């Protein structure tokens, strides 16, 4: 892992994400990029330096907004606890999702770390959370954290799956974080009424999976619950998990509305850090 992106809105959740990103960078030797994107009407008429073209919103307002934002960025940079970590930063005026996707591609980002408040009820159905959209669209792993996430000391990783369709890429990410923290991986299949499988069949499939990818320091687990999301959360609580790593299909549009995504639901509802990876 060489480069970590931290999109920030300077909230408590974003500050915690920056904290954790710098911890990861300190452990891995990566550098961190802090990114703030200002989204306002008429953004094509402004640059991040406050220069204006014809039209758009009032120049004085934009210059003041950029001045405040740069000040917030400097205060966030001052909270870095690891002098050895290289940190760059950028303030831009753009569409946030377009900017994040472009940054990931142009700068070969290996990991995005984002804070999230989550979403529920009608808000979740209509728009979801901003972080959920990044989880769905990003082409690199995304680590999501809440503001109440304590010291990121990972000893127990929960890896929920059906153990049929994971790609080597997802397992590589799992193995990387396991090795980084010398953690134990708890592989778990969530048995629900709609995905029922016998214990013998499920454990054999998990063992075959572990053998195929050469996993080490792991446990095999089957957890019965009514729905997969609840099963993952309940199992994570039982093993005192510090991190959940799981795959997402990254579906968008109508197919996403029909099938949803357990990974995105977990990002919205879990109090634990969630690391999501697209199945490639």
Domain spans, the chain: 3-115, 156-278
With a cut of 80, say whether residue 180 has pLDDT above it.
yes
CATH superfamily placement of domain 3-115: HUPs (3.40.50.620)
> For residue 159, what pLDDT is reported?
96
The least confident of 92-101, 219-228, 252-261 is 252-261
Q: Which of 150-154, 163-167, 220-224, 262-266 has the highest mean pLDDT?
A: 220-224
* 44 Cβ contact partners less than 8 Å away, ≥ 6 residues apart: 53, 56
More confident residue, 258 or 136: 136
Cα(195)–Cα(173) distance, integer angstroms: 26
pTM of the model: 0.86
The least confident of 91-105, 169-183, 202-216, 264-278 is 264-278
> For residue 166, what pLDDT is reported?
67
The least confident of 45-59, 82-96, 111-125, 159-173 is 45-59
Query: Does this chain's domain 3-115 share its CATH topology with 156-278?
Result: yes
**156-278 has which fold?**
Rossmann fold (3.40.50)
Candidates 69, 236, 268, 259; CA nearest to 154 is 236
């Amino acid at each position: 892992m060489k480069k970590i992106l931290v999109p920030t809105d300077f909230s408590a959740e974003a500050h915690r994400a920056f904290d954790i990103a710098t911890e990861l960078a300190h452990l891995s030797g990566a550098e961190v990029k802090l990114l703030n994107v200002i989204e306002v009407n008429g953004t094509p008429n402004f640059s991040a330096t406050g220069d204006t073209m014809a039209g758009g919103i009032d120049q004085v307002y934009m210059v003041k907004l950029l001045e405040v934002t740069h000040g917030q960025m400097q205060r966030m940079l001052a909270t870095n606890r690891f002098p050895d970590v290289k940190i760059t930063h950028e303030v831009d005026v753009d569409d946030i999702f377009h900017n994040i996707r472009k940054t990931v591609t142009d700068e070969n980002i290996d990991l995005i770390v984002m804070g999230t408040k989550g979403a529920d009820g009608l808000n979740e159905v209509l728009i979801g959370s901003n972080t959920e959209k990044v989880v769905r669209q990003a082409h690199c792993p995304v680590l999501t954290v809440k503001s109440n996430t304590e010291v990121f000391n990972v000893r127990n990783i929960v890896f929920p799956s059906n153990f049929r369709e994971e790609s080597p890429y997802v397992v590589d990410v799992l193995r990387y974080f396991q090795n980084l923290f010398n953690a134990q991986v708890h592989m778990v299949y969530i048995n629900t009424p709609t995905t029922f499988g016998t214990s013998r069949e499920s454990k054999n499939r998990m063992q075959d999976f572990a053998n195929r990818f050469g996993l080490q320091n792991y446990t095999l687990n089957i957890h019965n619950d009514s729905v997969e999301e609840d099963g993952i959360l309940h199992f994570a609580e039982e093993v005192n998990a510090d991190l959940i790593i799981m795959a997402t299909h990254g579906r968008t549009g109508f197919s996403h509305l029909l099938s949803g995504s357990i990974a995105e639901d977990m990002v919205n509802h879990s109090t634990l850090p969630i690391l999501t990876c697209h199945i490639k």
